[in-house]
Structure 1
Amino acid sequence: MKRVIVLMSVMFLTLSYGQEIKQVPQITVSGEGKVKVIPDEATISATVETKGNNAKEVKQKNDQQIDAVLKLIKKMNLAPADYRTQRVSLNPQYDYEKKKTSYNATQTIEIIVRDLNKYDELMEGLVNQGINRIDNVVFQSSKLAQHESEARKLAMKQAKHKAEDYVSVLGQKIGKAMTISDNSQTYYPQPVYATMRKMEMSDSAAPRETLAAGEITITANVTVNFILD
């Protein structure tokens, strides 16, 4: 009997406590912060693809072209840590109509360009040395952490300002924040850049620009729950 009384007392206290919490005046708002920056570096995924009827010859030709590409990269004084082989494959492809097997070899290199002034020269050199596929180009900022921090602060300021706007009409003020939820998603948009063409110089030998880096937007989103005074 005593256990039942104690249990009922605990349940009553818990319910009472829950009711008290629910009665605290609160407001929940969201905030968004955006920072637009000009990218200062790019990551290029470039592939050499070769095909033929002899697996050994196909692989050798692919290796030769990759060797030329790596020599170009070293010649441009890119740091060893800024390029790496990302993917290597050699696959048989059977033609059921001709009843013959051919082979397809690919090697993909990921290159980080930390000086975008080298972008056009590098892209031209890659094509000349045997790269026949540019899989992806992603532009980014070397100060990403700094810009993300700034975006988070702007999101919090907007949330606070929004809450103040709402409660000012009621003659109240916002107090301490009870909860803060970070709803941000990491996203690296790819700015518009010129489609890669054959990197040939015109008759006047004038340099050709193929890059429009644009801007990237770093966004932070928060949800904040304030107590009302």
Structure 2
Amino acid sequence: MKKLVLFLTIMFMTMSYGQEIKQVPLINVNGEGKVKVAPDQVCISASVETKGNNAKDVKKQNDEKMDAVLKFIKKMNIPTADFKTKQVALNPQYDYEKKKTSYNAVQTVEIIVKDLSKYDELMEGLVQQGVNRIDRVSFESSKLAQYQSEARKLAMKDAKVKAEEYVSVLGQKVGKAFTISDNSQIYTPRPMYAAMKSMEMDAAGASNETLAIGEIEITANVSVSFVLD
């Protein structure tokens, strides 16, 4: 009997709780905010790669070329804090057809250039000093966090405007935000191998200006659910 009374009591409480739950009227919208800015710095990832049949000789050649590259970077008055070695590797490569082992040495340096007027000269000099692989060229903004914040605020404003436009037709008002989801991505233009093009133009006697950095478009995308009043 006690078990039956307990069971009926729990059922009653559950039914009462379910009746108290109310459906919250919501409107779900997406918002987008964009900020366009000119880059004020460029990040370059450049590698020296050498190959040969003798590991010691391959490493020595690679070290000598990278030494020349680092000296050139310093000569360009790039602060020490703005360039660093990112990779050093010496790997054997076995040729099963010739049954011989060769070696491949790679050193990669990452450089942040805050004076964009040095870009063309630096890229051309890197190639001349021994860089034979440009892995990445990324034009960036040193104030990225600030512009990301601005884009997010614009995205939220856009979402609220859209919500208000929809519900105004129904004679309702937009209340507080119920849920917010951030779906933002960042795009940075990456023109590759500009130094190589510059050298080709020099040989033809043409202008060596290759830098067309454009703008960075920082976009924020949000999904927002607003409560309807």
TM-score, normalization by structure 2: 0.89
After TM superposition, the structure 1 stretch with the greater mean CA deviation from structure 2, 97-106 or 151-160, is 97-106
Counterpart of 2:143? 143
Deviation by residue 1:115-153 (Cα, 9 ceiling, x = unmatched):
211111110110111001101111111111111111111
Is the Cα–Cα contact under 8 Å of residues 120 and 195 in structure 2 kept in the other structure?
Answer: no
- State the Cα distance separating 1:195 from its structure 2 match: 4.0
- State the Cα distance separating 1:5 from its structure 2 match: 3.1
Aligned AA (2:154): L
Matched, 1:38 2:71: no
Aligned AA (1:189): T
- State the Cα distance separating 1:227 from its structure 2 match: 1.8
**Matched residue SS, 2:106:** strand
For 1:105 and 1:54, the matched residues in 2 are separated by: 11
Note the 1:183-222 alignment, pairs <5 A.
183-185=183-185, 187-192=186-191, 195-197=194-196, 199=199, 202=202, 208-222=208-222
Is the Cα–Cα contact under 8 Å of residues 124 and 196 in structure 2 kept in the other structure?
Answer: no
- State the Cα distance separating 1:2 from its structure 2 match: 3.8
- State the Cα distance separating 1:58 from its structure 2 match: 0.7
Counterpart of 1:57? 57
Is the Cα–Cα contact under 8 Å of residues 201 and 208 in structure 2 kept in the other structure?
Answer: yes
**Matched residue SS, 2:73:** helix
Counterpart of 2:130? 130
Note the 1:77-226 alignment, pairs <5 A.
77-185=77-185, 187-192=186-191, 195-197=194-196, 199=199, 202=202, 208-226=208-226
Is the Cα–Cα contact under 8 Å of residues 136 and 190 in structure 2 kept in the other structure?
Answer: no
Deviation by residue 1:157-198 (Cα, 9 ceiling, x = unmatched):
11111011111111121122222222223x333244664426
After the TM superposition, which segments of 4 or more aligned residues of structure 1 sit over 3 Å from their partners? Answer: 191-196, 200-207
For 2:95 and 2:122, the matched residues in 1 are separated by: 37
Aligned AA (1:166): Y
Gap regions ≥5 residues in structure 2: none
For 1:4 and 1:210, the matched residues in 2 are separated by: 81
TM-score, normalization by structure 1: 0.89
Alpha-carbon RMSD: 2.1
Distance change (3 Å), C-alpha of 1:108 and 1:125: same
For 1:174 and 1:121, the matched residues in 2 are separated by: 56
Gap regions ≥5 residues in structure 1: none
- State the Cα distance separating 1:204 from its structure 2 match: 10
| Match 1:11 to one of 10, 14, 19 | 14
Is the Cα–Cα contact under 8 Å of residues 193 and 213 in structure 1 kept in the other structure?
Answer: no
For 2:90 and 2:27, the matched residues in 1 are separated by: 60
For 1:210 and 1:87, the matched residues in 2 are separated by: 28
Deviation by residue 1:96-118 (Cα, 9 ceiling, x = unmatched):
33332221111111111112111
For 2:54 and 2:27, the matched residues in 1 are separated by: 71
- State the Cα distance separating 1:70 from its structure 2 match: 0.7
Give the paired residue count: 225
- State the Cα distance separating 1:26 from its structure 2 match: 2.1
